Amino acid sequence: MQAQEFGEKMRMAFWSALPKNLLSRIYRPPATDEEPHDVYDAAPFEADEGWSWVEAEKRLKRAYEEGGFPLWARTAMREVEAEAKVERVRRQREIDEKAFRGS
20-76 residue pLDDT tens: 666 665 555 555 555 555 556 655 555 556 788 898 899 999 989 988 888 888 888
pLDDT of residue 61: 92
Q: Is the dihedral of CA 37, 9, 57, 23 positive or negative?
A: positive
Secondary structure (DSSP) of 45-94:
---STT--HHHHHHHHHHHHHHHHHHHHHHHHHHHHHHHHHHHHHHHHHH
pLDDT at 95 over 80: yes
Higher pLDDT among residues 66 and 14, named by residue: 66
Pairwise CA distance, residues 90 & 92, whole Å: 5
pLDDT at 93 over 70: yes
Higher pLDDT among residues 44 and 82, named by residue: 82
Residue type, 85: K
Closest CA to 41 of 59, 16, 17: 59
